[in-house]
Amino acid sequence: MTHLPAIQSPSDLRAMPVERLPELAAEIRAAIIDQVQQTGGHLAPNLGVVELTLAMHYVFDFAHDRLLFDVGHQCYPHKLVTGRYDKLAKLRTREGMAGFPEPRESAYDQFSVGHAGTGISTAVGMARGDTLNGEAFDPKANPTGRRVATIIGDASIVNGVAMEGLNNAGTLNRQFLVVLNDNGMSIAKPQGAMAQYFDRVRLSHTYTGLKKAGESVLKNMPGGAIVKDAYHRMGEATKAMLAENAWFEHFGLLTVGPIDGHNIPELIEFLTEAREFDRPMVLHVKTVKGKGLDVAEGDATTFHSPKPFSIDRDDETQNCRVEIASGGRSFTSAFGEAMHGLMTRDEKVVACTAAMPGGTGIDKVLPDFPDRTWDVGICESHAMDMMAGLAKTGFKPFFAVYSTFLQRAFDQAFQEVALQGLPVRLCLDRAGLVGGDGAVHHGFCDVSILRTLPDAALTAAIDEPSLIAALEFMRGYDAGLSAVRYPRDDVSSRFGDAPPFELGRARCLTPELDVRTGQTPDVAVLAYGTPAVAAMDAAQQLSGEYRVAVYDARFAKPVDAKLIESLLQAGVPVVTAEDHSVVGGFGAAVLESAQEQRLDAARVHRVGLPDSWVYQDSRSRQLAEVGLDATGLARTIRLAADSGSVPAPEPKPAASPEHTQAR
């Protein structure tokens, strides 16, 4: 490394001659590839934006101007040129660099952002705020004012929030730049008419090469007279690439491009002109996802966010063999195969995902059931409503979605599903703590939001057999919405076959201590989901001291009220354990059940995610931090048995450097 270690801020970047920037780009790619090979992380999206990131920081001063990311998983190059190279070695850990923009790390990061479609809207808000504060750039009135730019991918642009943002951005009477990073991909192949439009744009040689006068482009635009006047102040390079009949014109945004997103001098030329333009503009940039690593370019989906991997190259044949680290069998894989079984047995079962076929396991059913399985792109709200429509027409819809992204479709779950009494089934992957992706992706509130919906049946799986049983229960549940949650983790093999799910009934994992058979354990653990595995380990650790009954709660709605009654009436302390927020979660449901039955809930002790943010780290370290590992649960069980009163665990303070906010 020659250049990268010396880049402590973008001012160091701007001190370099333009002709040396490709060397820096190569070093950044090498550093990212080397680190992700060791730790895993978002690889292909970051490799695709190296030159674009360098050009953006070369032209703009984002210590003063505003840079907002959409999604955020393409921020590694940005972090490396804003003084965080020393944190790369501990990528996605508490001591190192977060995998998404993180304002706690640097004043160059405006928002913690990991959900798609938000960049344009937040940028519009900052643009309006700067205008109201008298700080907005104006080429005449305030040439030193703040400029605003946002980078969004073509797969995120179809998100409903992005559409709303574009609609409002076109009304701005000031500089505003949207950079469309068009790489022809999402996490998987992008879906829908918009993606097809961009495919046609990329393949059209006439579109790319024509030089246009620009008058015909501008005359029919909203606010066209204003923009037409601005046209005469534009640089020749930008005029030459005005896009006739560009889709964004209908929102009132002048569209330029597409241009080569890996040609640094060309990028700098266009960005320099865009920097001085005083109206909203879209710069359409073509990039290659995975650029610079042949295996990532050839399979951008697999290398979007891989686990640690190695590449073995044959110097003579130039062939290479890639080995991606594998652990045990994942819940995602188990779900995909279970769904395949359901769809084979029942032709009324249909399934969809929102841009995550591989991440949710839906890729296991897409090839064999193409007419009953859909990837709708990054459009969770649409997916929920589409599933409601399918339920209304007599089908049994299953929507596979990350818990963190379910939040984006709650309104539809309320209005079009629950209110109508429709049996839409939600399969919530990545429920609970997710490890390296950190706070932006934790599935910490699905129980609390869905539990408000009448007739909802909320389940959790502890292993593969229980996941299969939960899906079978949901297939037959027609009273309303149902859901099963499971983590980004490997499945346990300790419990054997799972009995069928019965609505609102828990399963005892220690039958010799089941209060329902007349036993009186010293303490009982009601575990919702995979914390049952750690609870069994904790019970084993304490076997010489206490008789600990462990229950797989199975349902957060309805909870097993009869079991709660039996335990509390027998004077048995109860510990609830959940990989979910203690606010409104399973433990809260147990307390509510006790109150409704006029039972003394003083001996109910909750363990779950605290009412504070848990930042990036390994999932195992995060679970230990919040007391959900075997050691933490054993400590809580002992205190519950001894005193019947357990203080809420205090989360460990997050290690983060102090930064002076420069904005």
Q: How confident is the model at residue 431 (pLDDT cuts 50, 70, 90)?
A: very high
CATH class of the structural domain 4-286? alpha beta
Contact 141, 125 (CB under 8 A): no
What is the model's pLDDT at position 237?
Answer: 59
Contact 390, 350 (CB under 8 A): yes
Q: How confident is the model at residue 191 (pLDDT cuts 50, 70, 90)?
A: low
Separation between Cα atoms, residue 187 and residue 366, nearest integer Å: 16
Q: What's the burial of 116, exposed, middle or buried (CB within 10 Å: 0-12/13-18/19+)?
A: buried
Separation between Cα atoms, residue 576 and residue 588, nearest integer Å: 9
What is the model's pLDDT at position 250?
Answer: 76
Question: Among 431, 449, 437, which residue's Cα sits nearest to residue 529?
Answer: 431
Question: Among 410, 406, 484, 404, which residue's Cα sits nearest to residue 438?
Answer: 404
What mean pLDDT value characterizes the chain? 88
What is the model's pLDDT at position 315?
Answer: 65
What is the model's pLDDT at position 101?
Answer: 93
Question: Among 466, 188, 537, 494, which residue's Cα sits nearest to residue 328?
Answer: 494
What is the model's pLDDT at position 620?
Answer: 96
**Average pLDDT value for residue range 578-588:** 98
DSSP string of 401-467?
EEHHHHGGGHHHIIIIIITTT---EEEEET-B--STTGGGT-B-SHHHHHTTSTT-EEEE-SBHHHH
pLDDT, tens digit, for every residue of 277-299?
999 999 999 999 999 998 898 88
Handedness of CA 601, 605, 608, 610 (dihedral sign): positive
Question: Among 511, 353, 523, which residue's Cα sits nearest to residue 426?
Answer: 353
Residue 606 forms beta bridges with which residues?
Answer: 576
**Average pLDDT value for residue range 572-601:** 97
Separation between Cα atoms, residue 555 and residue 239, nearest integer Å: 61
- Supply 642's token pair: 């001894």
The label of the residue with tokens 């703590």 reads 433
SS3 255: strand
**Average pLDDT value for residue range 465-487:** 98
Separation between Cα atoms, residue 398 and residue 346, nearest integer Å: 12
Q: What's the burial of 320, exposed, middle or buried (CB within 10 Å: 0-12/13-18/19+)?
A: exposed
pLDDT of residue 245 exceeding 90, the answer is: no
What residue spans define the domains of the chain?
Answer: 4-286, 331-485, 509-643
What is the model's pLDDT at position 254?
Answer: 87
For residue 242, the 8-state DSSP code is B
pLDDT, tens digit, for every residue of 347-356?
999 999 999 9
CATH class of the structural domain 509-643? alpha beta
What is the model's pLDDT at position 54?
Answer: 98
What is the model's pLDDT at position 190?
Answer: 55
Separation between Cα atoms, residue 253 and residue 222, nearest integer Å: 9
- Catalytic residue positions, numbered: 289, 380, 408
Separation between Cα atoms, residue 10 and residue 315, nearest integer Å: 38
Q: Tell me if domain 4-286 and domain 509-643 are identical in fold.
A: yes
Separation between Cα atoms, residue 251 and residue 280, nearest integer Å: 10
pLDDT, tens digit, for every residue of 312-349?
876 665 567 777 777 789 999 999 999 999 999 999 99
The label of the residue with tokens 């001085």 reads 276
331-485: CATH architecture: 3-Layer(aba) Sandwich (3.40)
With a CB cutoff of 8 Å and minimum separation 6, the contacts of 375 are: 188, 191, 352, 353, 354, 355, 356, 357, 362, 366
What is the model's pLDDT at position 562?
Answer: 98
What is the model's pLDDT at position 194?
Answer: 55
pLDDT of residue 504 exceeding 90, the answer is: yes
Q: What's the whole-model pTM score?
A: 0.86
Amino acid type, 509: L
- Supply 137's token pair: 């750039």
Please report which helix (H) or strand (E) contains residue 265, including its range. Answer: helix 264-276
Share of the chain above pLDDT 70, in %: 87
- Supply 341's token pair: 């079984």
Separation between Cα atoms, residue 399 and residue 10, nearest integer Å: 43
> In this structure, what is the dihedral angle of CA atoms 73, 74, 79, 80, given to the nearest 10 degrees?
130
Determine what percent of the chain falls in helix, strand and coil, rounding each to the nearest 5: 40, 15, 45
What is the model's pLDDT at position 647?
Answer: 45
Please give the residue that has the higher pLDDT: either 252 or 399.
399
pLDDT of residue 657 exceeding 50, the answer is: no
Q: 38-47, 72-81, 104-113, 213-222: lowest mean pLDDT where? A: 213-222
pLDDT, tens digit, for every residue of 550-580?
999 999 999 999 999 999 999 999 999 999 9
